[in-house]
Amino acid sequence: MTTRGLTPTIMKVFSGIQPTGALHIGNYLGAIKQWVELQEKNECVFCIVDLHALTSPYQPETLQNLILEKAIVYLAAGVNPEKATIFVQSEVKEHSELAWLLNTITPIGDLNRMTQYKEKSKKFKQNVNAGLLNYPILMAADILLYQTDIVPVGQDQKQHIEITRTIARKFNQKFGQTFKVPEAKLPNAGAKIMSLTQPTKKMSKTDPPESRIGLFDEPEEIKAKIMKAVTDTGKTIKYNEKLKPGVSNLLTIYSLFSGKTVKELEKKFKGKGYAELKKSLSELLINSLESFRRKKKELLCREVYVKEILEQGRKRAQIIASSTIADVRKKMGLT
């Protein structure tokens, strides 16, 4: 957070996660952990981006449950509805409207270059829809509607924030000052947690379960996945992303959940083997994720409460979004 003089500036913060797919520790360390810290002193809006989820194969009959579950996950992971606004993207129609308007100023070439588009169109060859290509425009609409200063996300979303900045600048140039130009906020460490089975690739929701630790995995699953995690040749426990990507990833995860630095951990495990590191990391993760599992179980029985939080969130989000869209419509000659 920036400070001017002694008074900390209150930032407008926006971020979102799709309702589909179970969250893993990469999502937590890259995004949600930052949200929980930022909500203390800033104006935060956290969205469940259901419209984005429609761009990959999904089952309509399960979507409402997944949305509710994601709200529960936000709360269980520490998002506080008294401090932050939590809402569902499709319930605030201004997101779709602004996305259409921004479509008209975004070059197709810019969208074709997006890494996520290229990867997803390879992964879902049968369903390369226009929504997948236009995905970053809807994301720009999400962010720009709330006059956002910072967007806490993991490394993989950085490119989408860059295109959001380009779109905001272009709109302001063409139609007059309307949008704030937001900045991505990546965590100092943990912006790209790697897969347990292929440690040169990022941990991902859409890869096989053994490649990731789910935020709500049971203790036995955590232990089995960590013990099977791919490590590297050699025996020493030393951080080196290039030569030892597997061990380095485990050290990063260990450091972020324990609060110990990687240097301290290298010292702690000096002369010890990979099995010892893994055993200790499993125990740490089992204990650290215990409160998430407990809170989630509690919230699963409180559907009415969770729905009320989303309704309050929708109302708050709607007020901000409709004010921005009124300005946009005016600037574009629609009113």
- Give the contact letters, 131-170, x = binds to ligand LTN (CB under 6 A), - = no: --------x--xx-------x-x---x--x----------
Span 175-204, contacts to ligand ATP by CB under 6 A? 191-193, 202-204
Name the residue whose CB lies closest to ligand LTN. Answer: 16
From 15-23, 165-173, 188-196, 256-264, span contacting ligand LTN (CB under 6 A): 15-23
Catalytic residue status for 279: no
Q: Any contact of residue 23 with ligand LTN (CB under 6 A)?
A: no
User: Taking a C-beta distance cutoff of 8 angstroms, is the pair 205, 24 a contact?
Assistant: yes
Altogether, the residues listed in the chain come to a count of: 335
Which among 120, 192, 225, 278 is annotated as catalytic? 120
Point out the catalytic residue in the list 205, 279, 296, 331.
205
- Residue 186 CA to chain centroid, in angstroms? 10
Annotation says 263 is catalytic: no
Asked if 77 is part of the footprint of ligand ATP (rule: CB under 6 A), the reply reads no
92 binds, among ligand LTN, ligand ATP, none (CB under 5 to 8 A by kind): none
Question: 42 or 171, CB closer to ligand ATP?
Answer: 42
Catalytic residue among 202, 223, 225, 278: 202
Q: In the window 50-109, what residues touch ligand LTN (CB under 6 A)?
A: 52
Interatomic CA distance for residues 50 and 239, integer angstroms: 38
Cβ-based nearer residue to ligand LTN, 55 or 252: 55
Nearer to ligand ATP, 18 or 248 (CB): 18
Of all residues in the shown chain, the one whose CB is closest to ligand ATP is 30
Q: Decide if residue 49 touches ligand LTN (CB under 6 A).
A: yes
Q: Using CB under 6 A as the criterion, which residues of the chain lie in contact with ligand ATP when the complex forms?
A: 17-18, 21, 26-27, 29-31, 153-154, 156-157, 191-193, 202-206
